[in-house]
Each structure stands twice: as C-alpha cells, then as structure tokens.
Amino acid sequence: MGRVNSSRGLIVKVVLPTTKFQQLAVKRAPRLRSFPHKGVNLRPSLTKQERDRMRDARLAKRNSNETPPAVKSPTQPTVNLTFSSENRMEHDVIPENA
C-alpha cells in the first residue's frame, strides 16, 4: 500500500477471517517488540478521522498528566516527618507564622 520507499518498509494490509482473530492479533501486537526482525508493527484498521481522534486523545492525556509545579497551600500547615531509631514515626507541625 502506498509508494515504495527504500528507507522505510512496505505497508501490508492483512485481512483476517473473523473479528476474533483481528482482536487477538492486535492484543498480541506488543510481543512484536521482541521479534527478531525489527520494524514489524501492527495496528487496527482505522479511518483517518478515528486515527486523528485517538491521537488527540493521547495528546490530551499526556498533557493532563504533566504535574504542575509544587505550590504551598496557605490553608494547610507544613508537616515534617522523621523516623526515630525505634522505627516510630514522629511528626512536627510547623505553624504558618514561623
């Protein structure tokens, strides 16, 4: 499918007999990472709109997982936790005015 490019492999469309085999192949696709012939990839057949929608969802999820910089809450006191030699946890509450 598509034009032949010597720097990239050829895309091949495989039609499996039933949906069950398609789902099984897609489910086992991560195992191809350890396949001796590198560059073998498998993905479900999707329309351009479906691929774009999934890409946008991945990007949105990636952007939402970025942690914001730590901000000290003005309403919560700071708590220091220390462990004593007897493996008991002790804590000191530091007042906000300090």
Q: Looking at residue 75, what is its pLDDT?
A: 59
Specify the pLDDT at position 52: 94
Burial of 26 (0-12, 13-18, 19+ CB in 10 A): middle
Task: Give the Cα separation of 63 and 43 in Å (integer).
Answer: 24
41 by DSSP, 3-state: which? Answer: coil
pTM above 0.75, yes or no: no
CB atoms within 10 A of CB 38: 9
pLDDT band of 96, cuts 50, 70, 90: low
